[in-house]
Each structure stands twice: as C-alpha cells, then as structure tokens.
Structure 1
Amino acid sequence: MSRDALIVGINSYQYLNPLTAPAKDGEAIAQRLGQTGEFKIWRIPEHLDRTQGNRPTVSSKQPVSQQQLKQALKRLFLPESNQAPETALFYFSGHGIRDDEGFDQGYLATSDTDPKHPSTGISLRWLQWLLSESQVKQQIIWLDCCHSGSLIVNVGAANPGNSDSRDRCFIASSRDFETSWEDLNSEYSVLTKALLDGLEPSRLPGRWINNLDLVAYVNQALQGELQTPVCTNFGEAIKLTRPWQAEAKEKLKKPVDNGICPYKGLEFFDCNGEDPKYFFGREKLIGQLLDQVRTGNFMALVGASGNGKSSVLRAGLIHRLSQGRRIAGSDRWQILITRPDVHPMQNLAAAFVPEGGSQLDRAEALGRAAGLLKEGAAGLQRLVQASRAERIILVIDQFEEVFTRCNNAEEREQFFNCLMGALQETGEKLCLIIAMRADFVGKCLEQDYGGLAQRVQDHMVSVLPLNSEELKEAICKPAEQANLMVEAALVTEILDDIQGAPGSLPLLQYTLKELWQRRQGSTLMLATYQELGGINGTLDQRATEIYDSCDGDQQRTVRHIFQQLTQLGEGTEDTRRRVFLDNLVSEPLHPAARVRAVIETLSSQENRLLVTSEVIGKGENKERRAIVDVAHEALIRHWRLLRRWIEDNRDLLRQQRRIEASAVSWQGQNRAKGYLLQGFLLKEALRFQKQQSEILPLSDVACSFLRKSVRQRNLGWLKIASLLLLLPPIVDYSLHQWKIDQLYSKLNGAERNDPRGSVNSLTKDCGKRRGALTSYLIERATGEYCRSLANERFTPEANLDSVNLYRANLSFATLDRANLSFATLDRANLSFATLDSANLYSATLDRANLYSANLDRATLDSANLYRATLDSATLDSANLYSANLYSANLYSANLYSANLYRANLDSANLYRANLYSAIFLATDLRTTQKLTTNQLEGKNPPLLCNSPLPADIKIDQDRDCDQLADILHQRYPARFNSLEAAEEYINEKRQITWE
C-alpha cells in the first residue's frame, strides 16, 4: 500500500508577519504519520538536522515559493509516472488569505505571497481542480490557516470530481471568514493540537484510527473553541495511524511509609531543602531553561494559570542552578526572588537586603537599597555591580502583578525602565527572569516599556501542560521518594480524569494530598479516590466553597461567567467552551472591572477554577486576545451548583447562544448589513434581551449587533414615509375614514421616490389625527423625515425604541412615559420638552439641547449626554446611573434626589445646580467645573454612595421603624426607592432616628 504525505509548515514570509507555530506543527504531524501511519513523508521546507544524524525536519527559517509548493502538489496528486500512490495526504500550516472581490475567495500564502495581490498564493479553487483531475483513490487535505473553510464552500466544490471510486477527507481549521489561532497554552496551533491528539494510536487500541474517527474527534475537541473547524468525509474510511501496544506494567514494590506528604496541594513547589525532592515531570523544560540562562541574560517564562510556572521556576530551575551541576559555577551565583505586588520598586529593593541580622540592621539596609533605586537604572546597576558574586539571577515571579496589583502607572513605568536600563548596562552579570500568565503577554507588548516588549517577544519560553508520561511521573515518583505505593489502577483512573485539562496541576496536587491523608498503610488507594468522588468530587466541594466566599454581585458574575463557559450538548454531555475575555463583559450588570476581578479570583493560585491564556491570530495583523477557560471539564459535568444553573436556563441559554453566534458571524463579516437580524428573529432577540437582561444579559458585542439590526429595520420604514409624499393631497377625505394600518398596507410594496420631505409637511393637511399619524410613523422613520416636530403631543407611553431623531426639532414636545431607549437624539432640540418618566436607557444625546426640559423621574441609565445642554432642566429623581455627562452644561439644573452613581461628570458644569439628596461616588465630583463649596458642604449636601447619611441622623433605640422608614423614603427617594429598602437599611443599623 503506497501512502505519500506532503507536510508544509511556513514560518517565513516576505510581505506578511512571520509565524512561530507552523514549522513545529508540520514536524509533529510528519513524525506522527511517519512513525505510526506508514506514510512516506515529504517536508517543505526541509532542513537536515546534523545533531540528529542528518535527520530531515521541517525548517523554521527557510522560505517556500508559490512555484515550489505548486510543483510539489502536482507531484503528489498528478505524478508523471503511472504509479500514483493509493493514498495522498496534504497538510498545510501557515497564513491564509481571503479575497472577497475575486472569484477564488481563498488562498494559501507562500513566503512570497503579497496580500495586495492574493493570486500570488495557492488558490483553493485551483486545489479543488487539482483534486478533481487526480487519480489518487484516497485524498486527504488538512489546512491549518485562516479562512481555510473557503475550500469547502459546498458539497460539489468540496468533493471535486464526485467520483464514487474516490475516498476523501477535508479538514479546515476555520470557516471562510474566521481567523485561525496559535495557542500560547500549547506548542501547536489549535487545529494541529486536535489532529495530533486525534491521531494518537493509544486512543483506540486494537484497531486503526481512520478519517471518520479523526473528524468526529476534531469536531468534539474543538466544540466551543475560538474557531469553528470545517470537516467533511466522502467515500469509505481511510486508515491513518496504526494500533499502539502498551508496555508491560512494572510491578510496584511495597515500600515503608516515612510519614512525609510528597504533594503540595494548592501551593507551589519552592526552592527549599525539601520540595525539589518531590518535584517531577519537568525534566525537558528545566533543561531548556538552563540553556536559556547559560546563553542569555533575559527570559520570560509564560504559561496559563495552573500550568506550574512558579514550581518549575523555583523547585526546577533555581534548585538546579544552586546545585551547580548543569552549569559550572552556578552554585556560586547570587539568586534573588521577588514579586511586584502593590509596590514593585519597594519589593525590588527588599530583594537585595540579605536575610538575618537585627531588625534595625535590615531596616537600614532596606533604606539604602530603596535610596539607590530612586536613581533608577543607575541605582540598580550599582547594586548589581556591588555584589561579589560572579553573576546575579534576579527572578520576578507573578510578573503580571505589575498590571493587576500596582495601580500607580508612574511607579510601573519606573519599574520597567529600572530593570531594562540596568540589564543593558550590566552585561552578563545580571540575568533577569520573569514568570507571568500567558494572557498578560499582550499587556507587555502594548508599549515599548524601555525595551521590555521586544525582549519578551525574543526570549519567551512557554510552560505547556504535562503529557501523560510526565503526569505519571508527577504522581508516582514523589510517592517513591516518600516510600509510598500508588495503586496502578489509581494512576490510570487519575490520568483518564485529568488528561488534557489546562491548569489542572493544582487540582491534581490537591486530590493527591487528600489521598495521602486517607492512605491505607503506605498505599494510596483507588477505592479512597472513588469515595472522594475522584477529581470531580474534590472539585465540586472546592468550587462551592469559593463561590460561597463571594459577595452577592460577585456571585451573580461567577454564575454568568460559568454559564458562558459551558458548551451545551445536543444529545451529548455538556462540555467546556473557551471564550474571549472581553465577550464576558455585559454592561451594566457585569461591568468589565468586576468581570476581570472575578476572573482574577477564580484563576488565582489559591483557587484555580479558571484558566486564562492568550491566542495569537494567524492573520496579517497577528491579533492577540485574552481567553478564559475552565480549569477542568469536570467542573461542567460535576459541580452540582453549576449543573442546577444550566438545567434551569438550558433553553434560554440556547437562545442566547444563537443571538451571540449571529453577532459573531456579523462581526466576522466586517459587520455587513446582510448579516443583521430581521423580522421574527429580530423581534424574538429583542424580547429575549428585554426579558432576560438581569439573568442572561447579552455581551456588549451582541447588544451592538441588535442596535444595528433595529436601525436597519427602521431604515426600511423610510420607504413608507417617503412614499406617503407621492400621494395626492388628502383634501376630499377626512383622515378619520382611514385606519392607519390600512394606509400602511396600501403603500406596502410600492417603489420608493424620496423627495426628502418631512413628516410634518406630510401631515399638515391631515386634520384632527395629525398627532396620531405622526406617532405611528415616527416609530418607523429616521431623523431626515422627523426634523420638525415642535409642539407635538405624542400618545402616552409611545414606543420610539431605537428611533433616529438626529437634529430633530422637538422643542415643547410632550413625550410623557415615552420609550426612547437606544434612540438617536444627537444634536436634537428638546428645549422645554416634557419627558416626565420617559425611558432614555442607552439613548444618544450627544450635544442635544435640553434647556429647561422636564426630565422628572426619567431613566437615563447609561445614556450618552456628551456636551449636552441641561441648563435649568428638571431632573428630579432621574436615574443617571453610568450616564456620560462629559462637559455637559448642568447650570442651575434641578438634580434633587437624582441618581448619578458612576456617572461621568468629567468637566461638567454643575454651578448652582440643586444637588440636594443626589447620589454620587466620592470620585464623581473631582473634575467638575464651577462646583461651589456650599453645594458640597451646605445644609443639604449630596449623598456619596456607601457613605454615612448626613449628620442630622442620630442613634436612638426607641424610634419607630415604620415611621423612620417613611421619613427616609420621602427625603432620600433615590437612595431609598421603596419603603422596603429603607426598612432593610434600618434593620441593619437598628439604631438610626431623626433628630
């Protein structure tokens, strides 16, 4: 059986950004197919590794031209000889280019491909033609690049030739509009990692793994991923990799327990006298780190949370350096370890203060070190040069704390400049090693930071999850060191439960420590593991404890995050779903700050329920985005609290996912109008958004998608408004003889001829029903036709959701209780308008004129009032939560009891405004203009949220609760919007009365 495979992995590009993963991707696939699949391998580009006896490998540096790849593909599928292979496989990893204007649509990019001229790449339509001409019976195409789904547009195109005598397998890493990703939590690209795992022979012992098995595995493995694979099989099954025979199991000797626990639970292995004895599974990585230290003076150790960065750094690298066996003389080097924490400069100074001595001596030494560091890089250079050691290894663990804990941007910048400047001036004497979470690499690259960004890019080493052999070492070898025995069946069970789970090491150590505490004699037993509920039971208990420790708002956000990280099964079990971090933000219910804070807590070293990492797009701009994932899939299946949330909301979650998926497609298609929702789907989506906003809020992206859909729908109604102008003047008929719906139906379907009139000019002659017709039409029209509506009286509770009233004249208009949520009122004239109790949630009022408007009890939650004029307006008890009032003119405005919590009042004019009982954050008033002292310190100052009530409230045990609640509600209606809220406050205090 002749089987040929062409393996292509292109890192080097002339006009596109270089890549790092494709060469590794290609070589791993080549080895897997060559060793276990009986394939003859051709590599492009190929390099002979002299250190391995001239063994061929996929080159990471050599370029590949369009002509070179084209000829290789012809040789594979259209060989000149008559002896064509029975099976031909083409694998490609590199850049993919999409051409929206051309006929070919998708191209594989070679090193000389110019994105401005996509035809300089390999056309996917040409590849389809090649396959249709080929006589090879079994054809396999695997493409790991952006837009690779273009190959599989439809069944006919995906199966060129449509011959029953041919068997075909197509696997593309992403849909035609999607980006493919390199994953910093893996050595390989996202699709290639799934291919390698799916081709692992031990996965299906006793038989061949074929293309049907592989496609099923890839589809399952990449469910909920950041890209959607496109997989298609035709014809009969194609054998890919052969069975794998397990080695005979070694018999374990029965040791004598020495009473020492060799597992660390949720703590890391440290560089002390004991921990390194029990640290196993990282030999290959430690060797790589030692080589980096030997040859350079900077290294960035990067990995997902829970992958063991601190342990490999401390019990691995630092311990080996202190031994001096792998690098001659390293045992005489000075090794300093610190963490940035809140004050990185202060902690850096403390790292240079030796342990021991009196407290006074240490305080004096710390003062001198801190004084030197005030000089910046020069001071750090002097500290380094003063050391008698040949070399100083400065290790900064948990480097991401510079961004998460240090809130002083000036100190952060000083810290970076100090480190990078000294590193440049001290030569090889100083070696700087930083360890950080992968999702913070992008933060380091946002700015130059004194050269840090470039060094991180050039000297980054990834800490990948342990493979099965390394996991076995991490379980069994510590036990051997402590004279313990681990049942073979227990090892197998744990490996099955934990294999492939990112960030699982702390959970593994936590479970092993529990097993050690319940060991029988000197043996860790499978039966005990099953009694604990395995990894699953241990995790369920731990997750519930962490959830219970959160406050109410945090618990709601925890619930929101985990529901979004669950991929709902369709006749199968629910699984994990990786999500972009910014897609978890849903203002105002789950604001960005709280989402990030909760993720920090759940992924912290103490908790480890979530894993955060980063992916890099294979596209031209190499987009970097943070992602969030569950630490272990057992959370999805066995955390009872999460199961209850999912089951209670399963149908609603499916509806939410459909809306979110539509939003992602719209975003992936450059926000094309054709991908917006219409008709019934839009109506249902808007209903879902309104009804489920408190429990299952849509992401900010999906909310934007719906707003655009509504506006697109309203544009369609412009045809109706404009066509009305084509009718002859209504003179002989009174409007009461017309029902508005009949008028609309007569116009429906007519062609548009827009004379750019206005609703006002149309309805001038319409008699008594003018206001009703205007109210009807304005729901369907946009601002160009609604300019002149002065003095208009709309029907109460008129629904004007998302209407476009840009520059409309609504002076003196009556809009009591009107629904203007998401309305566009930019530059509109609303002077003297009555908007009593109107709903303006998320409305845009940029530079709108609201002079003397009545907004009594109006809802302006999240509204944009940028530079709006609210001079002398009435905003009594209005809700302005999170509203944007940047530079707004609120001169003499009545803000009695208004809710301005988290409103943006930067540069706003509040001179002479009535702030009596208004609610603010203390920071809200810092940058307002012309805010007089008596407004803040007078008899009736504003209320600052979470601050005590004014001084006229005193403690008295005898005051009647109901009476006091009524007084609080009447005097502070915005803070105590109901008697129940006031009573709840009193019950907490139990001592508050009026003077």
Structure 2
Amino acid sequence: MSRDALVIGINSYTHLNRLNVAAEDAEAIAQQLERHGDFNVWRLPEVVINDQLRVGQKTPVTLTELEEALVKLFKPSGNHAPETALLFFSGHGLRKDRGIQEGFLACSDVNPSQGFYGLSLQWLRRLLQESPIRQQIVWLDCCYSGELLNYAEADPGNRGEGRSLFLMAASREFEPAFEDVSGQHSVLTAALLKGLDPRRQTDGVVTDSTLIEVVAQELHGTTQRPLWMKPSGEILLTGERQAMLTQNLSGVCPYRGLNYFDTGDADYFHGRKDLTDQLLDPLKIGKGNFLAVLGASGSGKSSVVRAGVIHQLQQNCLSGSKHWKICMMTPGERPLESLATAFLEADRTDLARARDLKQAEEAIAEGSTGFARFIRASQSPRILVFVDQFEEVFTLCQNATERQQFIACLLKALEQTGDKLCLVLAMRADFLGKCTEQDYSGLAAKIQSHLVTVKPMTRKELEEAIRKPAEQVGLNVEDTLVTQILKDLGLDEADSPAEARQWEPGSLPLLEYTLEQLWRYRTLDRLTLDRYIRLGGVQETLEKKADEVYQSFSLEEQHVAKRIFLELTQLGEGTEDTRRRVLKQDLSSVNQSAALVDRVIQKLADPAFRLVVTSELVEKGQRSGRFVIIDVAHEALIRHWKKLRQWVNESRIALRIKRTIEEDAREWEQKGKVADYLLQGLKLTEAEGFLENYADSLPLSNLSQALIAASRAERDRQRRQAEERQQRETDLLKKALKAAQIRTIAVSLSAAIVLIAGGFVGWQQQQLQLAFYDIWSGVNQDDSRPTNAFSQVFYDIWLKINPNAFRSTGALNKLLEAAQNFKRNADKHGNEPDIQRAIAYYRQVRAEASKRLNTDHSDDRLPHEKSDLETLFKNTEAPLAELIEKYRLKPLQQELDQAKGSGQFGELLRRTPADLERQYSPGPLRTTYKILMGDLGVKADLNSDGRIINAIEANQIPCKTLERLERLWQETTKNRCSWYDRHTHSFDGNIHSPFSCKELIGRTLTERIFPVPQDSVVDRLKACKLVPDDLSL
C-alpha cells in the first residue's frame, strides 16, 4: 500500500526540436514528491548518477516504454493497488487535426510527417476510466495538453464510484506551452514546485486546492493559461497534518520498533502467552537445567525469553523463582569476558563491581570446574544464565579455542551443579548446523533433546500484539487497520488455522517498526489505516524510513552512512548475513573524521528512526577506558533494506578481503609484530590490490595499514638482498668467463647446445635444460635462486653465439615433449608448478609455430617444414585447452557462482591497455581477461601491450577455450553475456536493452576483454564458429 508517482521528462527527440529543461522539470518534481509527499516515485527515462536514480537528460523514450509505464501506474498487477497514483509529463505535445482534433504526448521517435504522433490522450483517458486507483492525479506540462480535460469533462467515467480525478494542463487544447528562458524550469513546473512546498503553507499541508491557488497566482498575467479540473474530494499532496494528542494519552510508546521487548517492557508484550507457558515448564526445578530456544531471525526469540519467561520468573510464577539470580548476556567477540560481566549487578558500587568481576573472571579462567565452584558458592537458590543471540559464538568470536572453552565451561558446569545452574540459549535456527561441525562438548545433541522452536504467531496472537499495547496507552486501533495489516502479512480472515501459521516470521520486526511509526504519527486518539497506507505498510515502512534518513544526509555523510552499515554487516558463511558490532573509534579514518562519523551516528540512532543503537563498553581493568559500541537495531534492516542489500552484494568480495587483512593485523599485533606474521606472497598482493581499489570506499584500520606497510618494507628488503646476491653471482660468473678464452667458451657452449638437442644425462644437466626451457617460455621463476641466475647469464651468452638455437622444429618438438611430460605430472599430482610449465611450454610451441608460419618468408619454406609447423600448432590446441579447462576455468566458475549472488562481476575501471589486468576491479571479468591475455592462461597478448594486433596473437587462443568461457558466462547470466549481442546482432551491447548483459553494464565480452583494434579477434571468433560470418565491427 503506497502513494505512487510516475514522472516523465523527455528532452531527446529524433524529428522534433530538442527540449532544454523537460528532464530537469521532471527530476525537480520527483524530488519534491519524495521529500514532502511520501510518494514512491518512478522516473522515465531512468538513469543512475552517483548511486542515485535520476531522470535521464539524453536518454530517449519509446511509445512502448511510455505505455507500459502508464499501465503499471494506473492498472497495476496484483491485489495491492496504491491509494493514490500521480502522473507528471514534461515534453513535447502534439495535435493532429484530420477532421477530428486529437492530442498526443510525444515520445522520442515521433514523426508527424509519417503519421506517428505518439501516445493518444484519448487512450490515456480510457486508461484512467478503467483504473482501480481511488485518487488519480495527472499533470501535463506540454503543448495542447488541455485536450485531456475535454475528454474527461465529456465523459467523467468512474468518478462517481468513489474515485477522485485531479487534472492540470499547461495550456488549453489549442495553445502551446512555454519554457522560461530566464529560469531553470518551464512556466508551469516552476509554479508547481512553489505550490508543492509545504513549508510555504501555514499549516504545513498542500492539498489540490492550495496548489491550484498558488499556480493561478504565479501564472497570473502571463501568456500561458493553465487549465485544471478539481477532484471530487480533497487530496493531500505534500506535507502532513500534525498529530493532536489528547491529555489522557500516555507519552510512552507501547511498541518496541526494531528493539526486542525486555523485562521492563512486559506490560506491553502481548500475543505470546502460550509460548511463554511452554518455555517455563522445562525450567521447573527437577525437570531439567537446559533449554534451547530456536527460531528464524525476527521471530521474537529474545522478546519471549526476556519479556515473557524472565519477567514471569521475576513475578514468582515458579515456586521461589523471584529469588533466582538472572544473568543475561550476548557472546560478542570474547564470550568468556561477556560471561563474567553478566554476573555484575547494576546497584553495586564501582569497587564492589570490580571485586565481583575479578572473582568471576578467575573462576571462569579455571574452566568448568572453577565456574561450577563459583556457581555453588552463590547464595542465590538458583542461577539462570540466558545467552541471547548464541549464534555470535560463530559469527563474532573468531577465536576457535575461546569458542570451545566458552561452550565447555557452560555445559560441563551444568553437569557439576545439578539444579543450581540453569542455562537458556536463544539462537537462530539456521545456525544449528554450525553446532554439529565439531563436538563442542555435546552441544548439538543437548540442543536437539531440549529444543523449543519459536513458530510464527497465529492471527489471534498477532491481533493481540497490535491492539492491546495501544489500548494500554489510551489509543484505539481502527478495525480496518488491523484487517489490512493482517492481510499484508498474508493472513486473510478466511484462512484456516493451519494456513494462518504460514506467514513469514521475519516480518515481526517490520510489523513492530511500522506500529512504532504509526504511534509517532497517530491522529487524535487512534491509529488509522490512512496513516498506515501513507507510511507504506508492513513491507515498506522500514525501507522508506531508512531511505528517507539516508537521503537527508549530505553526499559526504552518505558515504559515511554507507560505510557504517557495511561495517555492521557480518557476511554469512553458508548462512544469511547477520549483525556485527564495531567500535565507534574504528569507523573514523583519514578521509572521514571522528566528528563527521559521530554526526552521522547521532542521526541514525535518533529515537525517531532508531536504525542503529549505541552502547558503552568499559575496558577491562580501566576506570577511564570507555568505548562506544555501534550495532544495527535489528537484522531485519540487513535483510529488508534493498539499498543495504545492494551495497553488501556489491562489496561482498572486498569486505571479505578487508576483514581477512584486519584479522591478520590483529594476529600480528598479538604476536608482538614479529616478521613471521607479516603478509607474504599472494596475501600481500591481495592486500595491495585492496588498497589500490578500495582505500577510499572501505578504508582499512590504522593497524591494518601498518601491517601492509611493514610487509612491503620486508618484501622490498628481501628483494634487495636477492638482487645484490644475484648481482654478485653474475659478476663472479662473468669474471670467470672473461678469464677463459672466449673461443674455448664458444666451443663449450656449442657442445652444450648439442647436448641439449640430444638430451642431457645427469641431474645438473637436466636442471640446466629445464631452466633454459623456463626462460624461453616465460615461466615465472624465483630469481633469488643461484641456479636461475647462472642459467639466465648462460642463456644470454648462448643466444648471442647461437641466435638460431631454438628456431628449428627439432627444438620445438623437444619443448613439446617437455610440455607433455609436465601435463602428465600435473594431471597425476595437481602441482601448480607442473601446471604452469605445461601451459607455458604449450603456448610457446604454439606461438613459435604460428610466427614461423605467418612470417620469415613462410612461402619459401620447404613443404615438409611447413607441414611440421602446422602439425606442431595443431597438436598444441587440444592439450592447452584441456589444461585451461581443468585448472583455470573451474576457479573462474566458482567466481561466477559467487558473483551471481553478490552482483560483483568486476568492471573495466579504465581503458588503458598497457595496464593489463590492473584495468579491472576484482571479479570474474578480470579473471577472464587474465586467462585469455595473461600468464594465467593462453597469453594471447604475446608482446604484453594489452592488445591483440594480428592473427598470430589471436590464433593463440584455442577455440575450445573461447567456447567454454562464453558458455560459463551464459550459464551464469541466463544467456545475456556473450561474445556478441544476439538482439542487436553486433559486438556492441545495448545498455538500454532488457536483454543486454547487465552484469557487464550492457556490454559484450568482446568489448570488455579486447581493446580496439578487434579485427583479428573477430576473425578468430568466426573461425571458431562462435559468431555469425556476416557479423562485423
């Protein structure tokens, strides 16, 4: 349930004059309706600018797009039509006079000379007549728009059936409309913008009457004569009437929004009596000492234990339970510390609390034996420990040893204390599998045998939860409101009891948040359906409020808010994403000051919105060490706020890398920052890539940046040492060679070449031959090894003496044999060095054969030489494609599968071919590039200039590899992403087509992987039968 608006602004026309401000007019109206009118606004044409939807200034609009958008607005599918639908159109209007006068809204491709005028106003009038929308609003800022009023007045259609129609046209049916050459908007739009601003009205409300009054006043005396038709009843357009509170209304909100009901909120906690009784029964002395409460996120686990069970225990519902000691906790990152803190009592002095904390910590440090002794020593007849959000031992506690110790401490203490200790756990049901991954002192079995599942509330229970809290503070709840809420939750009155339990349990926090907002905007002494509709209903209230708060920030503050919510999201590992607490001090960075972060947090935590919550943490053993903790108000925000879901999915890979780096940094600090815990190899490369691509959007902590800096320094130091050592070895070798007679050296080298061609005998000779092949084939080697330094110098001198040493087919055949040997080893053992050599050797044979077939006077070669080269080239294609398939495409497929869920396919950051894979952000697109163009796979880019400039390079790519790459992308993207666009029949994608590859921003794989010129690539694709022969660039 909502108020919907469609704003259309068309600047671009093929056969008519381009307009200057139509799109700007539409965008200004859209923002006014969103800001002050509580409208859900769609834009046409719609583009994304700086992560925000805007009306496109250069994008054309077709007649089909125009018709589909209007049908969606006024005749929506489904059973949830909006209360109000508003259309604003700014663009060209046309008039056709062929015996019968007819008005049209012009789409971009109209061509009056060919009889195509656009969208008929007669068609629009019929659409309005058949629309089920109760309040219909149409504002047309175009020439001849008064035609629509003629049609509507002649046949009011369904206006007598409880429907209201508010029309406004920029000009009469025979008049043009005008743009104000001295202003930013057209004449009518400028007046509308003034009239829609509720701040100009004394009561803060704009209705149809006040808008007409302002527009008439603004256009008085101008050449333009707007027309309007008033609705049959008042329509509230922007602003809102202030709630009037009577004296007998309590100032306490009876609803908890995104917060759980705590023990102090029990008076307003309704609808869970049966479940509360069910949970109390196993807690009776003699019946057991363990209870596991499981349910979906948002099902009300925390509330029913706190405001239901624990409150009842405090009221002595069980014999002597009012004397029990109740300790409530959430595990957090350090569950053992949290357990000790749970035993502190608020009414004790600081000195006494410090003494109690020390005693609890010492007992828990001894494990279950010490903790059991601590429990038995208590004067309370029974101690109940409630561990809320138990899943945090898996999501927030990253120390596996502490996790084991915490669980063992609790469960083994239960065995040693009898009924003295009672343990209650509340956990999300989807984490039960985590409990079975290790033994955890029999946790999984204990949960299974003492489990109560929190099921969705019935219709009757939900009605109690809605009505009774309001009644306790003197508010009435309209019957129609309750009916609509239950209907929106999927519970119709006709549902059977069995069906009544099928609503989505995760909607409970959304319901509470909506009820809290209804209370804030209550009218007189009641909660009304009208306000509920304007809020957006159960499914939209939270999202609309979150969007509203986000949009109220400046651009700089929006960047901070986005980062805060990303940091507060714990990425799921086989489970849904969850909440994550962070220290406020960790949210500030070089680009985002502490004052800026604090300002944003204060707004997000404002009681009117309550999107995040703050709490204080005292550092152990310190009086002044206090830290502010930030947390999302409820995981419902993570699940149901589309903007946040989009952010998380776009940043999922980057967030995982960031948190891995930060975990490594914490370990480095804990180990005394010794060199053994610095980043090395791929980890350091990944960290450097993160800094290059995400340093601004996801800044690392100071500790993490220090780790990367120290790791770089250590790597550079080791490299300098290796280079110095290599240089010393090279100098010694050159001196030795210089000291000998050069002819003797030449003879020795020639003999070595003969030995290489005929096969070496002995381990050292084999290693030298292998080193030669590695250098020739470009295999990456560790240059710090003396053998490689020696081999490189030896290789260089050798080629100076024998420049044609590796140009014979005999040498290529030897390299091919070596490739085959390494492929067999790779297939048998899967060692990466064997895989690298096999791929590198095959592609080197392939490249050399192709070069000789296409250059060096290939026509003058003897037939058998040419045949040998062709055979060599052919014999490398299948094994190279097989290696790529087995060892490079499988990881790519995993990346694509992950990107399918996250939307993070990678993007071309800049078209600078010489930057190679650095042109791309992390993701499967960059991996695809590396497989085709880089050392990871085929390396078709033989000269490393980032381009495919001739057939020699293009033919490096096996057809099977091109085919499999395309198939992987097609399978992941439902056939949208290919080497060419099948709908435009070209290599150029259409960014506006619904069939285009949206994962690559509407582009084709050819466009994204290969920079121009692409002729050789196209020829290769055609030769491989992967694109039609008639396709051209």
* Fold shared per TM-score above 0.5: no
- What is the TM-score normalised by the length of structure 2? 0.33
Q: Looking at CA atoms only, which structure, 1 or 2, has the larger radius of gyration?
A: 2
Structure ranking higher in helix proportion: 2
- What is the TM-score normalised by the length of structure 1? 0.34
